[in-house]
């Protein structure tokens, strides 16, 4: 996934590989910071399947835009698959 942030004087491009989403340490950090009750055991089961499907989807739909936000201050955030 690619995250692009454009703001006044700031241009940031980040590449987020899929293996980071499947990292147990990162999943634990996300579940600890979350305000909602998330079952870690179920997330371990669902997340690998979700990543596998995302990879298949990415092959067929290169450059698919997941999120595209433009603020009134002309700041632009894009999340692409």
Q: What is the pLDDT of residues 7-61, one digit of tens each?
A: 988 899 999 888 887 787 877 787 777 777 777 778 778 888 888 898 899 899 9
Domain extent listing, the chain: 2-80
pLDDT at 65: 92
Structure-model confidence comparison of residues 69 and 18, the more confident one: 69
Q: pTM, whole model, 2 decimals?
A: 0.66
pLDDT at 42: 81
Say if residues 56 and 40 touch (Cβ distance below 8 Å): no
Structure tokens at 33: 């910071």
Say which residue the tokens 């595209």 belong to: 68
Say if residues 7 and 78 touch (Cβ distance below 8 Å): no
């Amino acid at each position: 996934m690619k995250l692009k942030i454009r703001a006044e004087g700031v241009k940031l491009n980040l590449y987020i590989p899929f293996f980071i989403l499947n990292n147990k340490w990162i999943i634990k950090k996300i579940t600890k910071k979350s305000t909602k009750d998330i079952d870690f055991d179920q997330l371990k089961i669902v997340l690998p399947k979700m990543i596998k499907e995302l990879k298949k989807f990415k092959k067929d739909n290169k450059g698919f835009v997941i999120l595209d936000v433009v603020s009134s201050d002309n700041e632009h955030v894009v999340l692409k698959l």
